[in-house]
Amino acid sequence: MIFLIFIFGLIIGSFINCIVYRLYVGESFIKGRSYCPNCKHQLGFWDLIPIFSFLVLKGKCRYCHKKISWQYPLVEIITAITFCLVYLLSAPVIIILARNLFFSAVLIIIFIFDFKYLLVADKIVVPSIFISFLLNLIVKMSWQNLLLGAIIGSSFFLIQYLISKGEWIGSGDIYIGALMGVMLGFKNVILALILAYIIGSIVALLLVAFKKEGWKSKIPLGPFLAIGTIISLFFGEKILQWYLGGIFF
């Protein structure tokens, strides 16, 4: 089963690459044949097999021979590995597995899109808020918990946006906050936000220390929010129990 999940992850990873590119150029990712971003030549089946095609073509387009970005195989592999971990942490409850695979795919899109373009993929985030809300209702999470989570998550960024007049964060982060809330509920969304800012601060300090970025450089927040959400989704309850247990006992 784990092998099938891995293959499924490779396929979804390939689709995620398509989504990220087409969102950025303003094209539909639902319809239309895949094509080379450089020469615009339509790609055939043998050009689109995850990992295999990249290796066979030696990282170059079959038609224009331009180099293919390493993003494509990396995203495919990362998605496949992530899906395998999700399977190990979610099985054998099918609906929980399906929900967590969906959450993971959306978070990977948020991570890549913001990391690459410094933008929030609103066309993915907004509908995912409603889908995530419905999926969590199906797994018996209370709507009050989800609604409160969405309010906390979105308000956290809305306040920053209003105070800074859009200088600190973009409006898209407000949507991500709402999505985090409906994915996690009110307790875990708070933990996810704390984790995201801790991890982001550590990475920012390391980048400055190694002179990769300056103090005034813009660092995308989306990747850290995605990481914080993933950690809270699977380990949030244990982290909270450990932390609160250390305080009260």
Residues 190 and 145: beta-carbon distance below 8 Å: no
Task: Kindly state whether residues 129 and 34 are assigned to the same domain.
Answer: no
Task: Kindly state whether residues 87 and 99 are assigned to the same domain.
Answer: no
User: By C-alpha distance, which of 125, 176, 169, 132 is closest to 152?
Assistant: 176
Q: 234 vs 44, which has greater pLDDT?
A: 234
Q: Please identify, among 48, 75, 91, the residue that sits at the C-terminal boundary of a domain.
A: 91
Task: Kindly state whether residues 129 and 194 are assigned to the same domain.
Answer: yes
Q: Please identify, among 91, 114, 129, the residue that sits at the C-terminal boundary of a domain.
A: 91
pLDDT category at 215 given cuts 50, 70, 90 is low
Residues in the chain: 249
Task: Kindly state whether residues 42 and 134 are assigned to the same domain.
Answer: no
**pLDDT, tens digit (0-9, with 9 covering 90-100), for 81-136:** 999 999 999 878 899 999 999 999 999 999 999 999 999 999 999 999 999 999 99
Task: Kindly state whether residues 74 and 100 are assigned to the same domain.
Answer: no
Q: What is the pTM of this model?
A: 0.91
Task: Kindly state whether residues 69 and 103 are assigned to the same domain.
Answer: no
Task: Kindly state whether residues 70 and 148 are assigned to the same domain.
Answer: no
Task: Kindly state whether residues 210 and 130 are assigned to the same domain.
Answer: yes
Task: Kindly state whether residues 19 and 142 are assigned to the same domain.
Answer: no
User: By C-alpha distance, which of 206, 229, 230 is closest to 217?
Assistant: 206
Instruction: Over range 166-179, report the average pLDDT.
Output: 90
Residues 115 and 168: beta-carbon distance below 8 Å: no
- Percentage, residues of the chain above pLDDT 70: 94
pLDDT of 247 > 60? The answer is no
Task: Kindly state whether residues 99 and 80 are assigned to the same domain.
Answer: no
pLDDT number for residue 171: 86
Task: Kindly state whether residues 84 and 126 are assigned to the same domain.
Answer: no
Which structural domain, as residue segments, surrounds residue 69?
1-91
User: By C-alpha distance, which of 132, 129, 112, 116 is closest to 12?
Assistant: 112
Q: Please identify, among 91, 109, 133, the residue that sits at the C-terminal boundary of a domain.
A: 91
pLDDT number for residue 248: 42
Residue 140 CB contacts under 8 Å (≥ 6 apart), including other chains? none
Domains of the chain: total: 2
Task: Kindly state whether residues 125 and 248 are assigned to the same domain.
Answer: yes
pLDDT number for residue 249: 39
